[in-house]
Amino acid sequence: MNAASSNIQAPEKLQTSNFKFANNYLGSWCLVFLWCLVLGSWSFAAAPALYTNNFESTELDQVPADMLVLDGAFAVKQQNGNKFLELPGAPLDTFGLLFGPATNANVTVTARIYGTGKGRRYPSFGVGLNGAGGYKIKISPSKNALELSKGDDVIASAPFKWQSGAWTKFKLQIRPESGHWKIEGKAWSDSSKEPEKWDIAFDEKTEPAPGRASISGSPYSGTPIRYDDLAVTPISN
C-alpha cells in the first residue's frame, strides 16, 4: 500500500507542477511571438537611403564634394539657421547638377525646392533620375503644369498649381513592371501631406540607362532657386 501510494502526487503539488508547465509553455510562445514581431518590423522597415544631403555639414558658398555640377553657380547658403543649396537668379538659363550613386531602376529621388515668381515671370525647377539625359519632373508655373521629360522632350504632364515663395516637395521613381518600366512622379506643397496618388505615370518600353540623380532649375524670374533635403532611396518590394 505504501509502495503504490508513493507514485501518487499530492493535489497541491500536482497543481503547482501544472502551473509551472503552463507558465513555461506560455513564456516560450511569448518569446516566439515577440521574435516574430521583431522580424516583421525589420521586413517592413523602410530600406536605408542610398544618398541623403541636407547641406548642414557643407561650408557656406561651397558645393558638396560628392556632387557634379553640370552648369550653374550653385552654392550653399543659409537663412534662419537652415542651410540649403542655392542657384542664383542670373543668368537666365537652365542649370543642373548630379548627385548620389548611378542607378537605372527600383529607386526614388526626393527633394524640397523653393522659388519665387516676379511679375509674370516664373522659375522652372525639378528633380531627375538616370543622369543628365534621363527622366525629370519639373514644375512649369507658366503652364500651371507638372511635366515629365526624357532628355529635352516632354513625354507627359499633369495640371499643377504652384505657390510662389513656398517650398515644394518632389518625388520621382522608376521601377520594372511586367516587361516595361513605370516612371512615376508627383509634387506637393511642403506644408501639405504627401498625396497617395502619383500626378504622372508613364510606361517606358526601353530599359533606362544607368545614371545619377539630378536637380535642375531655370531662374527665369530673376530670383534664386533653393534646394534642400535631397535623397535617393531604393524601392522596397
Residue 29 burial (10 A CB sphere; 0-12, 13-18, 19+): exposed
Convert the pLDDT of each residue in 126-163 to its tens digit: 999 999 999 999 999 999 999 999 999 999 999 999 99
Q: Which of 194, 218, 224 is nearest to 110 (CA)?
A: 194
Q: Which residue has the cell 538616370?
A: 130
How many angstroms separate the Cα of 152 from the Cα of each of 6, 113, 126, 175?
Answer: 94, 21, 13, 21
Work out the average pLDDT over 88-105.
Answer: 97
Q: CA-CA distance, 220 to 52, in Å (whole number)? A: 28
Convert the pLDDT of each residue in 19-60 to its tens digit: 444 445 444 444 434 444 433 443 345 579 999 999 999 999
Above 50 in pLDDT, residue 9? no
Work out the average pLDDT over 87-96.
Answer: 97
Convert the pLDDT of each residue in 55-82 to its tens digit: 999 999 999 999 999 999 999 999 999 9
Above 90 in pLDDT, residue 18? no
pLDDT at 52: 98
How many angstroms separate the Cα of 175 from the Cα of each of 9, 98, 131, 153?
Answer: 67, 20, 16, 21
